[in-house]
Structure 1
Amino acid sequence: MDTDITLPTSVFSPRRPQSRGQRVAGLAPPLAGALALATLLTAAPAHAVSIDDLGQLSLEELGNIRITSVSKKPERLADAAASVFVITADDIRRSGARSLPEVLRLAPNLQVAQSSGYGYAISARGMNGNNNSAPNKLLVLIDGRSVYTPLFAGVFWDAQDVVLEDVERIEVISGPGGTLWGVNAVNGVINIITRSAADTQGSLLAASAGSRQADATLRHGGALGAGGHYRVYGRYLDRSSTSNEAGDGIDDAGTRSQAGFRADWSHDGDQLRLSGNIYDAHEEQPAPGLLSTTISAPPLGDLALSGANLTSRWDRQLDQGASLSLQAYYDRTRRVAPPWFNESLDILDLQFQHALQPLGAHSLVWGVNLRYSHDRIDNSPYVAFLPPDLHQKWNSLFAQDEMALGSRVRVTLGARLEHNDYTGSEFLPNARIAWTLADNHLLWAAASRTVRAPSRLDEDLYVPGAPPYLLDASFHTRSEVAKVYELGYRGQPTRRLSVSTTVFHTDYDDLHTQEIDPSFTFLTFGNGMRGRANGFEAWGVFQATERWRLSAGYTALHERLWLKPGSNDVAAPLAAGVDPSNTWQLRSSWNLAATNLDLALRHVAALRRDDVPAYTTLDARVGWQLQPQVELSLAATNLLGRHAEYGGMATRVDIGPAVNASLAWTF
Structure 2
Amino acid sequence: MFKFGLVITILIYLSFAAIPCRAAGSDSDSRLEDLNLEELMDVEVVSPSRRKQSLENIAGSYTILTEEDIRRSGAKSIPEALQTVPGVIVTRTDTDKWAIGIRGFKGVFNSKQLILIDNRPITSPYFAEVLWGTQGLPIEMVKQIEVIRGPWTSLWGAESFNGVINIITKHAKELEGLKSVTTVGSDGVSELLIGGSKISDNGNFAVYGKGGYEAGKNYTVFGHPEKGSRDWTTGTVGVRGDWENAFTDELSFQGAISHSKITEQSPPGNPFSADRDKNDVNGFAQFVWDRSTGVNSGIQFRSSYSRTIVTLQDLEGNLNTFDGELVYSGVQTGAHLITAGAGGRYFWEEFEQGKFVSVRNANFSRFDVSSFLQDRITLIEDELFLTLGMKLDYVEDGEVSPQPTARLLYTKDKQEYWLALSYANRYPSDWVHQGHYDVMYNGYRYFLDSTADLENEELTSVEAGYRRIFDDDLKIDLSVFFNNYDQMVTMSFDPSTRTASPVSSLEGITYGSEFALDWQALEWLILRPSVSVTLQDFPSVPGDGPGFSPPLNSPVYSYKLQAIAALSDSLELDLFSSYLNSLDDRDLSTGFDLSARLEWKASDKISLELIGSGLLNGVNDANYVITEPAVSMRLTWDF
**Is the pair's TM-score, using the shorter chain for normalization, greater than 0.5?**
yes
Q: Quote the Cα distance in structure 2 between the aligned partners of 1:403 and 1:301.
A: 57
Counterpart-to-counterpart distance in 2, 1:639 and 1:470: 40
CA pair 519-289 structure 1, distance change in 2 beyond 3 A: closer
What letter is aligned with 1:274?
Answer: F
Matched residue, 1:454: 428
* Structure 1 counterpart of 2:321, one-letter code: I
The structure-2 alpha-carbon separation of the partners of 1:321 and 1:657, relative to structure 1 and needing over 3 Å to count, comes to closer
Counterpart for residue 21 of structure 1:
none
Is the contact made by 1:116 and 1:653 (CA closer than 8 Å) also made in structure 2?
no
Shift of 1:363: 1.2
* Pairwise CA distance, 1:425: 1.4
Secondary structure in 1 matching 2:492:
strand
Give the C-alpha shift of residue 209 in structure 1: 0.8
Q: Could you tell me how far 1:481 is from its partner in structure 2?
A: 0.9
> Does 1:282 pair with 2:261?
yes
CA deviations on 1:524-565 (whole Å, 9 max, x unpaired) are 2111121101110111111112211111111001100023xx
Aligned residues: percent identity? 27
Q: Structure 2 CA distance, aligned partners of 1:290 and 1:661?
A: 31
Quote the residue 1:110 is aligned against.
88
Structure 2 vs 1, CA of residues 516 and 619 (structure 1 numbering), >3 Å: closer, same or farther?
A: closer
State the alpha-carbon separation in 1 of the partners of residues 81 and 266 from structure 2: 29
Instruction: Give, in whole Å, the separation in 1 of the partners of 2:232 and 2:363.
Output: 29
**CA deviation after TM superposition for structure 1 residue 288, in Å:** 7.0
Is the 1:423–1:478 Cα contact (8 Å) retained in structure 2? no
User: What's the counterpart of residue 547 of structure 1?
Assistant: 524
CA distance in 2: counterparts of 1:521 and 1:497, whole angstroms: 58
Partner SS, residue 636 of structure 2: strand
Q: Give the alignment partner of residue 316 of structure 2, picking from 342, 359, 370.
A: 342
Task: Report the Cα offset of residue 519 of structure 1.
Answer: 8.1
The answer to whether 1:357 aligns with 2:336 is no
* Aligned match of 2:281: 306
* Distance of 1:634 and 1:522 partners within structure 2: 51
Q: Which of 582, 596, 601 pairs up with 2:577?
A: 601
- 1:58 is aligned with what amino acid? N
Pick aligned residue for 2:105 from 112, 123, 127: 127
Partner residue, 2:157: 182
Deviations 1:399-419 (A, max 9, x none): 000100112100000000110
**Partner residue of 2:36 out of 29, 34, 58:** 58
Residue of structure 2 equivalent to 1:24: none
Corresponding position of 2:12 = none
| SS in structure 1 of the partner of residue 327 of structure 2 | strand
Check conservation: 1:475, 1:524, Cα contact below 8 A: no
**Equivalent in 269, 277, 281 of residue 248 of structure 2:** 269
* 1:624 paired residue number: 600
Q: Alpha-carbon deviation of 1:128?
A: 1.3
How many Å apart are 1:422 and its aligned residue? 6.0
Shift of 1:177: 1.8
Do 2:458 and 2:487's aligned partners in 1 also have CA atoms closer than 8 Å?
yes
1:626 deviation in Å?
0.2
Q: Distance in 1 between matches of 2:30 and 2:152?
A: 35
Name the CA shift for 1:70/1:568 in 2 (closer, same or farther; >3 Å). Answer: closer
2:181 to 195, 198, 206: 206
Provide the aligned length of Structure 1 versus Structure 2: 598
Gapped runs of 5+ residues in structure 2? 1-27, 440-445
Partner residue of 2:348?
Answer: 374
Residues 135-144 or 57-66, more deviating: 57-66
Distance 1:54 1:148, change over 3 A: closer
Among 396, 399, 406, which residue is 1:421 paired with?
396
Measure the CA separation in 2 of the matches of 1:247 and 1:289: 10
Shift of 1:75: 2.3
Q: Which amino acid aligns with 2:631?
A: V
Within a 5 Å distance, the mapping from 1:496-515 to structure 2 comes to: 496-515=473-492
Question: What residue is the counterpart of 1:136 in the other structure?
Answer: 111
The AA in structure 1 aligned to 2:244 is: S
The structure that is strand-richer by fraction is 2
Q: Is 1:98 the equivalent of 2:76?
A: yes
Matching of residue 147 in structure 1 with residue 115 in structure 2: no
Q: Per-residue CA shift, 1:37-68, capped at 9, x if unaligned?
A: xxxxxxxxxxxxx9996835321221211112
* CA deviation after TM superposition for structure 1 residue 521, in Å: 6.7
Contact 2:122 2:130 in 1 (8 A): yes
1:74, distance to aligned residue in structure 2 (A) = 2.4
Partner of residue 658 from structure 1, selected from 621, 627, 630: 630
Tell me whether 1:488 sits opposite 2:465 in the alignment.
yes
Measured at CA, do residues 636 and 56 of structure 1 come closer, stay the same or move farther in structure 2, by a change above 3 Å?
farther
Report the Cα distance in structure 2 between the residues aligned to 1:625 and 1:54, rounded to whole angstroms.
17
Change (3 A) 1:89 1:520: same
How big is each residue's C-alpha offset from its partner over 1:119-160, in whole Å with a ceiling of 9 and x where there is no partner? Answer: 21101010113xxx7321011001111001123212112122
Alignment partner of 2:104: what SS? coil
- Cα shift at 1:589: 0.9
1:311 deviates by: 0.4
Q: Return the offset for 1:244.
A: 3.1
Asked if residue 525 in structure 1 is aligned to residue 497 in structure 2, the reply is no
Q: Aligned pair in 2 of structure 1 residues 449, 248: CA closer, same or farther (>3 Å)? A: closer
User: Aligned equivalents of 1:508 and 1:394: distance in 2?
Assistant: 24
**Matches of 2:542 and 2:620, distance apart in 1:** 29
Aligned partner of residue 101 in structure 1, secondary structure = helix
Supply the AA of the counterpart residue of 1:513: T
Query: CA offsets, 1:588-646, max 9 Å, x none?
Result: 11112211111111111135477362111121111111011111111112222x24434
Mapped partners of 2:349, 2:30: distance in 1: 44
Structure 1: runs of 5 or more not aligned? 1-49, 292-297
- Alpha-carbon deviations, 1:302-342, whole Å to 9, x = none? 12110210000001111465311100000000013453x00
Following TM superposition, by how much is the alpha carbon of 1:664 offset from its aligned partner in structure 2, in angstroms?
0.6
Whether the 8 Å contact between 1:321 and 1:358 is mirrored in structure 2 is: no
Do structure 1's residue 222 and structure 2's residue 197 form an aligned pair?
yes
Deviation at 1:384, TM superposition (A): 1.4
